[in-house]
Amino acid sequence: MIIARLLHHWGIEDPARVADTSEEKGVVFQQVRHQIKTRNQPFATATI
């Protein structure tokens, strides 16, 4: 059995560093969560 390992850097911003207020951080956290979900979707639906 061969197991392939794929590494890729996604360069997503750190919400804690981007925003000043709690409200702004919440918005940025939601955006980052959406980016991660969107990028992970192909891996989650792939068949092995």
pLDDT digits (tens, 9 = 90+) for 23-48: 988 999 999 999 999 988 887 887 76
Q: Is 16 helix (H, G, I), strand (E, B) or coil?
A: helix
Domain boundaries, given as residue ranges, for the chain:
15-45
DSSP label at residue 40: H
What pLDDT, on a 0 to 100 scale, did the predictor assign at position 2? 66
Tokens representing 42?
């192909």
Q: What is the pLDDT of residue 37?
A: 92
Structure pTM? 0.67
User: Please, what's the largest Cα pairwise distance for the chain?
Assistant: 50
Higher-pLDDT residue of 29 and 8 is 29
Measure the CA–CA gap between 9 and 24, rounded to whole angstroms: 25
Model confidence at 17, pLDDT cuts 50, 70, 90, reads confident
Apex 14 CA angle, 28 and 23, nearest 5: 30
Residue 47: per-residue pLDDT: 76
